[in-house]
Structure 1
Amino acid sequence: MSMNRPTATALAAALCLLTAACGGSSGDDKASAKSTEAAAAKSGYPVTVDNCGQKQTFQKAPSRVVVMNGASVAEVSTLLALGLQDKIVANQQTYGASEVAGRAAAIKALPTGDVKLNDAYDIPREAMLGLRPDLVLSTTSYGFDEKNGFATREQLKSVGAGTYVSPQGCDQDTSKMTIADSYQLLRDMGKIFNVSDRAEKLIAASEKSIAAVADKVKGEKKPKVMVLFSNMSMGGNDFSSVVAKGIYNDILAKAGGSNAFENASKTSFADLSKEKVAVTDVDALVVIAYNDPNPGAYAQKLLKEFPQWPAAKNKTYVTLSDSMYLGPSNDLAVEKIAKALHPKAS
């Protein structure tokens, strides 16, 4: 006689009640409960993470992780720094370069899931569900917005997938982001994957490195720095990828500098005319490469275009990639910028 599973389960429960033949004594039950609790404590699970007003609970470490694009490498770099690359079944993040030796190649070697991307160069709903993830990482809540053709957090939960939006990404406003958010991302991933010890070691090393640099440049004059992405257009003006606010400013401050265009916008980026850029004193350039193989050429082009800048006269510029954004390597950006701004002090 065939029987579906719910019926079989219900029948077994009924027989237990009628015959009192299932299970052992209350003492056995208590022992079993203690054994289960001990096993859970040893495994570190379940764990719960509060994320954008939602509680995400994990019964075990995710093993099918999908990393959405989001014009970021924060999430994939964090997973790699924690030694979790084997958990990734699809990654869409890449800057094509990194301050960490071997990281760009490691990212390139990750599986992409062989999915057809949408117009935002990211994973649409049906393709996402087809990947059978148990954890999906998105830089901001944009990646879970149904209006954009993405799988929602509720839809992913219904198929057993946890979801995570990186710090300051809940309202899609990264203007308040600081280095502390990079540490929060590390801690959350450490908790979810039960590798908190690794996360804390990385954080401690970063804090120590940044503190040492900040101590060396303490009391020095803070040069005005222009931070922008190379060969990238985000608006209608000649300079639409100029950084105004966000983690970049925290990094600059730790390196002994200040953002020349901090007040040019209330959001993370300023959309500036060539005239506005020309009349601003710029002591140094920080050019961030986003899949640009030669950001140095772009920096040199700007220095020639604005010879009146102190930066042009002193040829002071730095090219960076992933360390200047949310992620596990902000200490490298702080160190490199400090050396350019304060060569004698650092």
Structure 2
Amino acid sequence: MSKKRPVAIVLAGALCLVTAACADSSTDKGGGSGDKASAAAAKSGYPVTLENCGVSEKITEEPGRVVVMNGASVAEVSTLLALGVQDKIVANQQSYGMSEVTGRADAIKALPKGDVKLNDAYDIPREAMIGLRPDLVLSTTSYGFDEKNGFATREQLKQAGANTYVSPQGCDQDTTKMTVADSYTLLRDLGKIFGKSAQAEKIVAASEKHIADISAKVKGEKQPKVMVLFSNMAMGGNDFSSVVAKGIYNDILAKAGGANAFENASKTSFADLSKEKVAATDVDALVVIGYNDPNPAAYAKKLLKEFPQWPAAKNNTYVALSDSMYLGPSNDVAVEKIAEMLHPDKV
């Protein structure tokens, strides 16, 4: 399949997301079954209200028919797996075919796809979405609810009985300021939605500790210049059109004791660079991200051979990653693997 369209969609997303869990202020004054229902709801932790991209979503019970849209992401489905609520998914369109987390790729592959015909963006069109009878629809960006692109809108889904959620940073589709903290926001939001806040906090705490321990080991060390790009991916007109400039990737690099060699090459999340520009830049290390690519390491080796003048080529310094570099529950894995590459004597 063509990889250009869906990847450009998700990697151009951004969020202004504020969350708040609160009890319903209305109560049944008539007594009887209403009082019992309110007491049961309070005990379960519901209702929960999220203010998400300007839309107020009130979740009255744990979702049981969840649809995960594609968005060229695995952030949402991986977070659901981490929270242990994969049995609630009736249709999942997210997959990279690989993961740094043992068993995750197979677990994603085993999820139901909903048996629907996808549109040109490899996602679920309006009528098919309504036909799935979801009670919760997750989209990486607001694009997934854009009527102009043939998707069901958030209002249409609300009328059909479904809550909706747009992930960090998907509201205005600008990922340049995304950080690892946004992955924690996603975990906490979905934790609230599914009544798994304690599990979400446990995952966040473990990730924060893991990253803090690694960052402490590399503190004060020289920060090698790292090139981050997607393997065999075309997103623009130049030879190197999928080079990372800004976003969560830079936060991960910084926590691992590195810096982006091409951070100033673009004001957007990605730089579209000529071969000459790439060749003229000192690259100390290479991070290749695999998106449905069975062998991103082979692509990394090809680049090192193509640019023998790089310090990265002279020292054979590269790592191939996939989902841990994105929004999602496993950014600490990427921090560890990159730190091991950049500072092997410290980590």
Same fold (TM over 0.5): yes
Q: For residues 78 and 293 of structure 2, what CA distance do their matches in structure 1 show?
A: 18
Name the counterpart of 1:11. none
1:145 partner amino acid? D
Q: Is 2:297 the counterpart of 1:296? A: yes
For residues 156-305 of structure 1, what are the structure 2 equivalents within 5 Å? 156-305=157-306
Partner SS, residue 105 of structure 2: helix
For residues 1-346 of structure 1, what are the structure 2 equivalents within 5 Å? 29=30, 34-346=35-347
1:168 partner amino acid? Q
1:161 partner amino acid? A
Return closer, same or farther for 1:32/1:159 CA change in 2, 3 Å cut-off: closer
1:299 partner amino acid? A
2:294 partner amino acid? P
Q: For residues 126 and 268 of structure 2, what CA distance do their matches in structure 1 show?
A: 29
Structure number with greater CO (CA < 8 Å, separation at least 6) is 2
Per-residue deviation, 1:247: 0.3
Per-residue deviation, 1:43: 1.1
Partner SS, residue 49 of structure 2: strand
RMSD: 1.1
Question: Taking every aligned residue pair, what percent have the same amino acid on both sides?
Answer: 81
Q: For residues 33 and 48 of structure 2, what CA distance do their matches in structure 1 show?
A: 21
Deviations 1:267-323, CA, capped at 9 Å, x for gaps: 111111100100000000000000001011000000000000000000000110100
Q: For residues 100 and 330 of structure 2, what CA distance do their matches in structure 1 show?
A: 8
Q: For residues 261 and 322 of structure 1, what CA distance do their matches in structure 2 show?
A: 21
Partner SS, residue 127 of structure 1: helix
Partner SS, residue 175 of structure 1: helix
Deviations 1:161-211, CA, capped at 9 Å, x for gaps: 111000111001111110000000000000000010100000000000000
1:167 partner amino acid? P
Partner SS, residue 177 of structure 2: coil
Q: For residues 267 and 57 of structure 2, what CA distance do their matches in structure 1 show?
A: 32
Per-residue deviation, 1:33: 5.8
Q: For residues 65 and 184 of structure 2, what CA distance do their matches in structure 1 show?
A: 23
- When Rg is computed on C-alpha atoms for both structures, the one with the higher figure is 1
Partner SS, residue 154 of structure 1: helix
Q: For residues 279 and 109 of structure 1, what CA distance do their matches in structure 2 show?
A: 45
2:234 partner amino acid? S
Report the count of equivalent residues: 319
Q: For residues 68 and 129 of structure 1, what CA distance do their matches in structure 2 show?
A: 13
Return closer, same or farther for 1:314/1:112 CA change in 2, 3 Å cut-off: same
Runs (4 or more) in structure 1 with deviation over 2 Å come to: 28-38
